[in-house]
Structure 1
Amino acid sequence: MMFWAVIYVVFLARFNGVPAEERLHWRSFLVKLGAENLKGAKNEELLVACHKSVYIVYTVLGDVSIYVVGKDEYDELALSEVIFVITSAVKDVCGKPPTERVFLDKYGKICLCLDEIVWKGYLENTDKERIKRLIRLKPPVDF
């Protein structure tokens, strides 16, 4: 079975007031969605879904499944841009499409990148070079 990192947390769980039951529902929904659709998917092949008026764009990168979730102005087109930046950042940090071990070894730096890409549920940075510069200013031990 594939290791999965649910990066949807960046868009969904950072909103204050999201009940734990709702987060649990989304997590189980995304796991089921990925199990059904990511088998045999190519690296960085984008898949799109919609659930409860929320858009989901997801892909597989190495051994990691990546999901981004949004609504309103974060439609599938905007989310595809976000997931492209995220996959690019993960590949840069890991040096290649990650295995489970490499992803977990680089988890702190990946979180720093995610924090620069999305801030409080809003898209902040999409420029790869700017993200690299900004994460150099933060020590990974802050997590």
Structure 2
Amino acid sequence: MILAVVFANVEGNILIERFHGVPVEERLHWRSFLVKLGADNFKGVKNEELLVACHKSVHIVYTVFGDVSIFIAGKEEYDELALSEVIFVITSAVKDVCGKRPSERRFLDKYGKICLCLDEIVWKGYLESTEKDRIKRLVRLKPPTEF
């Protein structure tokens, strides 16, 4: 299960978060842990270079993407390899929505569409869609023309 998808800015403020199967009382711990993990390890990291960590049998893959950092935590079948595919799909969708690597301002301007993309990619803790064209089509909020 994908436990968390978290976007943060360079100061460590959370921009978007999605938790699945994580009790409310544990979410603050995960937020602070992920942001601290990024602050400790992002120095000198190139854009879209994947970093990997493990904490309490939870696998974490994270990266810097423009002015935004992305963290994905998963357990069981979502190991580092599966999470790296998830983060690739998410960065690709965000790049499509923003037109390029996002600055914080551009990211927040496209906030609604990015949230829709996230919901199409990860649904209830599981990878739902990886096809770029399908995600674009579903985010347009128009009825499907082909079945």
Q: Shorter-normalised TM-score: what interval?
A: 0.7 to 0.9
TM-score (norm 2): 0.85
Stretches of 4+ moved more than 2 A in 1? Answer: 3-7, 18-21
TM-score (norm 1): 0.87
Name the counterpart of 1:111. 115
% same residue: 79
Structure 2 gap ranges (5+)? 1-8, 143-147
Q: Say which SS state the counterpart of residue 101 (structure 2) adopts.
A: coil
Q: State the distance in 2 between where 1:122 and 1:24 align.
A: 22
Q: Aligned match of 1:64 in 44, 55, 68?
A: 68
- Asked if structure 2 preserves the Cα contact closer than 8 Å seen for 1:113 and 1:131, the reply is yes
**Map of 1:31-110 to 2, 5 A cutoff?**
31-110=35-114
When the two structures are aligned, how many residues end up with a matched partner?
Answer: 133
Q: Aligned match of 1:2 in 10, 13, 29?
A: 10
Higher helix residue share:
1
Q: State the distance in 2 between where 1:50 and 1:19 align.
A: 19
Higher strand residue share:
2
Q: State the distance in 2 between where 1:47 and 1:108 align.
A: 27
Please state how far the C-alpha of 1:3 moved relative to its aligned partner. Answer: 4.8
Structure 1 gap ranges (5+)? 139-143
1:25 aligns with 2:29: yes
Partner AA of 2:133 in structure 1? E
Cα RMSD (Å):
1.6
- Asked if structure 2 preserves the Cα contact closer than 8 Å seen for 1:6 and 1:66, the reply is no
